[in-house]
Structure 1
Amino acid sequence: MKKLLLVLFVTVFAVAFTNAQSKMGASVQGLVSFPTGDFGDGAGTGFGATGTFTYSVSPMLDVTGSVGYVKWGTKESIPGYEVSFSDIPILVGLRYAFGKGHFLPYVAAEAGLHMLASSVKGSLFGFTIDDSSTETKFGIAPGVGFLYKFNPKTSLDVTAKYNMIFTEGSSTTHLSVNAGVAFAL
């Protein structure tokens, strides 16, 4: 399944880059992440940033590639300990915009790898713990958003997406709200 998705994404990018009438763009966004499901039982609100590259296949359809960083703490503090979770998502996807003009709502879907890390550090009653773990998992992220064009080269880009990372047991899920500036290249 993963190999099939990789071949699909490489094919989409190859077709997109051979289209001579396409346009490129990039955006930088800050984000707030709200853990859901089992992940939300222990993790608190997260913060991070995302950089996205876009390549227009048609006036309404973009191929996207993004990389980001998100860090969460715990909902409840543990005296003497610092616990954190982080994610570096590397995703590719599609974004379809509706309408024309300054305000362009869109739907999006992304898939790719998430480099997850967790860390526990601290000491209590003479016991010291300094433990961390990392793993790479596959995930998907459907979303909705909008572009608001300030001028032909600069737009406000706001997205809400539901991230589903396929970890063992139950999936690690969170809702992220991203906002930033998009530039035409």
Structure 2
Amino acid sequence: MKKLLLISFVTVFAVTFTNAQSKMGASVQGGVFLPTGDFGDAAGTGFGATGTFIYELSPMLQLTGSIGYARWGSKENLPSGWEWSFSAIPVQVGLRYSFGKGNFLPYVAAETGLSFLSSKVTVEYFGQTFTSDNSESKFGLAPGAGFLYKFNPKTALDVTLKYNMIFTEGSSTTYLGINAGVAFAL
């Protein structure tokens, strides 16, 4: 199911790229991910990257599709021999609305999609090592805001602040992503 979703996502954007080269763009960003809520009680600051494909529907409205990777470690020092990590691969689609004209273009955005979650706990106890791996896919939402600062007609600085909500049974995993990178026209 995960592979089918990813293949579908890539196919849709590949077809769109070939049909509308002049309206396409992409952004590659590095990010810092700050866990919030209950997730923030256990996880430390995360790091990762996001790639976004952009299709211009009108001069101010864009369709977006993104895929990213974020990884967190534990917030506190664990006892010797203990390790904990959590990662997310969000695959999302959404809309972005840009304001203004000129070189500085602020925007608001909203995306939705699946997040592929993975956690790993390793415990060493009396010379024995025990490992538990867990993987699952969950639905999520991500409202955000940011800006583009154009260096030239084809290249811009892209800075985004995105609040990610991943809905799990009985609660949600939330984190604030601060991303910066380069956007370019295709």
Q: TM-score, normalised by structure 2?
A: 0.88
CA distance in 2, matches of 1:111, 1:22: 25
Name 1:141's counterpart in structure 2.
142
User: Does the aligned pair in 2 maintain the 1:22–1:55 contact within 8 Å?
Assistant: no
Pairwise mapping of residues 28-177 of structure 1 onto structure 2 (< 5 A)?
Answer: 28-79=28-79, 80-177=81-178
User: Does the aligned pair in 2 maintain the 1:22–1:57 contact within 8 Å?
Assistant: no
- Secondary structure at 2:168's aligned position in 1? coil
Unaligned runs of 5+ in 2: 1-8
Count of matched residue pairs: 174
Unaligned runs of 5+ in 1: 1-9
CA RMSD of aligned residues (A): 2.2
CA distance in 1, matches of 2:69, 2:32: 11
CA distance in 1, matches of 2:95, 2:152: 23
Name 1:5's counterpart in structure 2.
none
CA distance in 2, matches of 1:87, 1:117: 6
Distance 1:153 1:123, change over 3 A: same
Letter in 2 for 1:98: F
- Secondary structure at 2:170's aligned position in 1? coil
Q: Percent identity?
A: 71
Compute the displacement of 1:127 (Å). Answer: 3.4
Q: TM-score, normalised by structure 1?
A: 0.88
- Secondary structure at 1:38's aligned position in 2? helix
